[in-house]
Structure 1
């Protein structure tokens, strides 16, 4: 064996899985096809503190470009809800490097420029064919991104609703003062079906614009072009300069599917565990269970299912309620979205606390008290569309 565990992919989830497994005594190799971790950078570069807190990690200002106060959620008519919650715009390269250093200090053998080409499952051993030769381990953790090729080679379906992935196009832009505001802006409506368009200020004259669209395939460039023109009108800009563009996917409504098998665990975007913070937390759980499996000499699906059970306890309700909400949003008309947003305009939403089910109940009761007719907008959930 080259290692007890081989982690494929240095995503935030993959990094955490490797680190936690090593800290519990496992011999771990992490392979990453990029020549350097964090380069080229990943388009996901923001998170809210509340979500990141689930990891138990502290935010380190060394990788933060801008501290923000929260977000404006803006309806098609311009009505908005203000959500105050500390948030961060990241230097994603520095963020990945920061955690790669932790992984290395934990004793993980990090090998960059190494791409997994094939995985062969044998009796008690995995043989991983790479561009640098063959590697063997007792257990494999897959974290190679959405539409995982390695999971597919093993015949696994780690995403339950892959067609509901939100495909994105994001660009870094430049315009005078565009990066100075201290709140994100998320625009919902049929200009970005099924999810949102975004404006994320990152200081000075720079910001990012993005669209996240569900149900319209992977090419969302037409939605992005329309969003840019709309944004220029909203902000009174004659022109903006583009610094860079990136494409990607967000499995926010896709739901984890088959994420464990005989000697195999899948985590992060590969397993529809959306978001930097939530993905990292899933990676931590994955690494902990993987190390326990090595210690006990049991990499059976029954033992590894502890990972799924831990994830279900932490996130299952939240993800399924999120999926229901986004499916409803996808089916709503702009008029219905406007009506729903109006209920929350100018309100202090700090009362929406607790677990996901409690939050949903409190939100529904608030809508019922303030404007009972607003609940009719949720009829969209029953539409076939």
Structure 2
């Protein structure tokens, strides 16, 4: 396999998830000699998320194909520990996808655009001149080769080694790091609605986090749980998830299990250094409230290549030049994600009784006919103690929208 590697490329993308594949395709379409490597034997496996994506955003990067769409989502239910729930429509039509097929098709699009794609091929280090990244040390089938690149893209996920090797600060506080576990559960006929995604919240269910049930058909769903790492010392996420599954789906079959961690801080403040850009989960480009990141990673890849391709043509791969990417990200998502982070902190600090009461009250409102501001004012009247937490929403501007 190392014999198939050239000595140098314009762009090397490390990681073949959605963000990496979009970056590789866009770079190749810019006429850049592009290599994308994936350390695992198979692209798209193991599945590392709940697999929900916004349809309109996704269609900007890949053509709609029922081969990788498992469910069309019309509503989200937010449920408390008593069983009260609020049903809201998504901000855009949502799909639950089959990541194995979805990720592979994105990689095929990169390949068809001219990128070279290699699996079972791992980055084991960076090549540097002083502090500037000038390539990647690559291992494939026991052999190691140093391969130079004008630009390296770190797209190697939440545990990104490449970003750390480059000196980017990627370790969040424990209170801003989700520990998670997910089951692919079967035999759920009649227990789920195939067009409804569910969130279950409550300190008894998932301290500092939530449980999700995302359908993948009539009788199958991703059932998962995240909780902040600082609350998982005594009871593990898997123990909490087992309790939930035993209570709600006692006759289910567990078809697969995946565990992992997700930073929930919003994007890294520094996503670039000389010769390198981080994208997707490697750059913590996930929603600070829900930790969803597939579409955000695609946006990050797009922004990175917009800037990176120009920088290559200009011959300036300095961190100062690449920081335009960080500015684009902040302009698009900075204020929104700062607000969502504050909302998450507000919810995780709220006592159980208040949280139960809020959802119980909201479940009786005609949510679809009300603005967020009207909903909040109604909740404030019913729960005056919420005024303390409402300062967060007022500060972020969410209550006024």
The verdict on a shared fold, with TM-score over 0.5 as the criterion, is yes
The 5 Å alignment of 1:286-305 reads: 286-305=304-323
Give structure 2 stretches of 5+ with no counterpart.
1-6, 287-292, 393-401
- Tell which deviates more after alignment, 208-217 or 175-184: 175-184
The Cα of 1:308 is off from its aligned counterpart by: 0.8
User: Structure 1 residues 231, 102: CA separation in 2 closer, same or farther (over 3 Å shift)?
Assistant: same
Is 1:46 the counterpart of 2:59? The answer is: no
The Cα of 1:224 is off from its aligned counterpart by: 3.3
Select 1:331's aligned residue among 325, 330, 349. Answer: 349
Aligned to 2:299: 281
The Cα of 1:255 is off from its aligned counterpart by: 3.7
Aligned-partner SS, 1:304: helix
Aligned to 2:137: 129
Q: Contact conserved, 2:216 with 2:222, CA < 8 A, in 1? A: yes
How many angstroms apart in 1 are the aligned matches of 2:76 and 2:137? 45
The Cα of 1:325 is off from its aligned counterpart by: 0.9
User: Structure 1 residues 165, 46: CA separation in 2 closer, same or farther (over 3 Å shift)?
Assistant: same
- Tell which deviates more after alignment, 56-65 or 276-285: 56-65
Aligned to 2:4: none
Aligned to 1:36: 42
Is 1:152 the counterpart of 2:164? The answer is: yes
Aligned to 2:227: 213
The Cα of 1:180 is off from its aligned counterpart by: 5.1
The Cα of 1:175 is off from its aligned counterpart by: 2.0
Select 1:170's aligned residue among 178, 182, 202. Answer: 182
1:145-165 deviation per Cα after TM superposition (whole angstroms, max 9, x unaligned): 113112212221146656512
How many angstroms apart in 2 are the aligned matches of 1:258 and 1:80? 39
Aligned to 2:3: none
Is 1:181 the counterpart of 2:194? The answer is: yes
User: Structure 1 residues 205, 89: CA separation in 2 closer, same or farther (over 3 Å shift)?
Assistant: same
User: Structure 1 residues 375, 248: CA separation in 2 closer, same or farther (over 3 Å shift)?
Assistant: farther
Aligned to 2:125: 118
How many angstroms apart in 2 are the aligned matches of 1:72 and 1:183? 7
User: Structure 1 residues 371, 152: CA separation in 2 closer, same or farther (over 3 Å shift)?
Assistant: closer
Give structure 1 stretches of 5+ with no counterpart.
353-361
User: Structure 1 residues 19, 350: CA separation in 2 closer, same or farther (over 3 Å shift)?
Assistant: farther
User: Structure 1 residues 67, 382: CA separation in 2 closer, same or farther (over 3 Å shift)?
Assistant: closer
1:23-56 deviation per Cα after TM superposition (whole angstroms, max 9, x unaligned): 1222111111012212344344222436646x56
The number of equivalent residue pairs is: 371
Aligned to 1:198: 212
How many angstroms apart in 2 are the aligned matches of 1:115 and 1:326? 35
Aligned to 1:91: 98
Select 1:230's aligned residue among 218, 230, 244. Answer: 244
What's the TM-score once normalised by structure 1's chain length? Answer: 0.87
How many angstroms apart in 2 are the aligned matches of 1:125 and 1:210? 38
